[in-house]
Chains A and B, each alone.
Chain A
Amino acid sequence: GQQLNQSPQSMFIQEGEDVSMNCTSSSIFNTWLWYKQDPGEGPVLLIALYKAGELTSNGRLTAQFGITRKDSFLNISASIPSDVGIYFCAGVNAGGTSYGKLTFGQGTILTVHP
């Protein structure tokens, strides 16, 4: 099925560095969501974006909903070891038979070296 194009696929960084990842789509979404998944756990919602152009922060996390509604980025500042995990972007389908369903990016695997 449809997937968002999420990049990078993986990142290896030093503790304290900033991280940036992004998602692009050929389709428009009305809502963008960013999740973090730890091994053996379900995804945990980090940030939800509802308006084109919206910039939202949650602690060291900042995410923006692209003005075209076809892209979004997530930044993590001053990374710490517990930031390790897989980060997924997801767009919420707004209409038709796919209403309410999520379209996921492939995920970004983040490794933080102490």
Chain B
Amino acid sequence: GAVVSQHPSRVICKSGTSVKIECRSLDFQATTMFWYRQFPKQSLMLMATSNEGSKATYEQGVEKDKFLINHASLTLSTLTVTSAHPEDSSFYICSAPAIGTDTQYFGPGTRLTVL
């Protein structure tokens, strides 16, 4: 089946620093990837759509200058949380549909803790 990886799985950083999270589709290509944020015992909240070769599109209320997205290739998207603050602590998950399908496969998630 389709496999999506994320790195790192966990990261702890100091307030004010930036953190980069990678999302890779391992056995398929994806022109689009999606980034989500999830709070405990809640559903996933879509943050932005990452588009290969063009700018990401952000959901309402998501700061594009704070959550920088780069879709560098057909198998890699990165999310950079800039100037992180404790309220940015969360579980970040990416997903990708294989080209030509709309079935999305999720990465294992990244737990971000900002001290």
Dominant secondary structure at the A interface? strand
Question: In the bound complex, do residue B32 and residue A100 qualify as a contact, i.e. CB atoms below 8 Å apart?
Answer: yes
CA gap between A92 and B98 in the complex, in Å: 14
Nearest residue (CB) in B for A97 is B57
- Neighbour of B104 across the interface among A33, A40, A105, CB < 8 A: A33
In angstroms, how far is the closest chain B Cβ from the Cβ of A30?
A: 7
- Tell me which of B69-77, B82-90, B105-113 binds A: B105-113
A106 in the interface (beta carbon within 8 A): yes
**For this complex, into which size category does the number of interface residues on chain B fall?**
20 to 34
| Main SS class of interface, B | strand
Contact of B103 among A33, A41, A105 (CB under 8 A): A33
Decide yes or no whether A102 CB sits under 8 A from chain B: yes
CA distance A101 to B95 in the complex (A): 10
At the interface, yes or no: B43 with Cβ under 8 Å from chain A?
yes
Residues of B within 8 A of A3 (CB): 43
Can you list 23 A-B contacts with CB-CB less than 8 angstroms, sorted by A residue number?
Answer: A1-B59, A33-B103, A35-B106, A40-B91, A41-B108, A42-B6, A42-B95, A42-B107, A42-B108, A43-B44, A43-B93, A43-B106, A44-B106, A48-B103, A88-B44, A90-B104, A92-B103, A92-B104, A100-B97, A102-B34, A104-B44, A107-B42, A107-B43
